[in-house]
Amino acid sequence: MHECLNLDEATLACFCKTHHIRRLSLFGSQLKGRAGPDSDIDLLVEFDPEHIPTLFGIAGMEIEMSELLGKKVDLRTAGDLSRYFRDEVVRMAEVQYAA
């Protein structure tokens, strides 16, 4: 697990299972080693197709994960990302949890 995700594997697995996350991956400045002290943590998530959350649900997950990590977290699905860089993000993202 990447060092910016200061969680044990069981805690991350519990979070993902609770929220029906099939895959959670790190991308962005934290992964590239270019994060500053105020940088957020960008996480790419793939949900179970039968349990797609609302925007309010995702916002709640962001708050919960931010509290767990002590840093602001942005959760994004591949569909949320701009088509101009989506493929690169998906290809370069580092999987932290997979069901």
Residue 32 lies in a domain: yes
* Residue-number span of the structural domain to which 61 is assigned: 9-98
Per-residue pLDDT tens over the stretch 35-91:
888 999 999 999 999 999 999 999 999 999 999 999 999 999 999 999 999 999 999
Residue 43 lies in a domain: yes
Long-range interactions of 1-9: CB distance < 8 A, separation 24+: 1/96, 2/26, 2/30, 2/31, 2/94, 2/96, 4/30, 4/35, 4/41, 4/69, 4/71, 5/41, 5/69, 5/96, 6/69, 6/70, 7/68, 7/69
- Residue 67 phi, psi dihedral angles, 5° rounding: -65, -40
Give the domain CATH number at 62: 3.30.460.10
Residue 55 lies in a domain: yes
Residue with token string 């995700």: 5
Per-residue pLDDT tens over the stretch 9-25:
999 999 999 999 999 99
Residue 2 lies in a domain: no
Residue 81 lies in a domain: yes
- What is the number of structural domains in the chain? 1
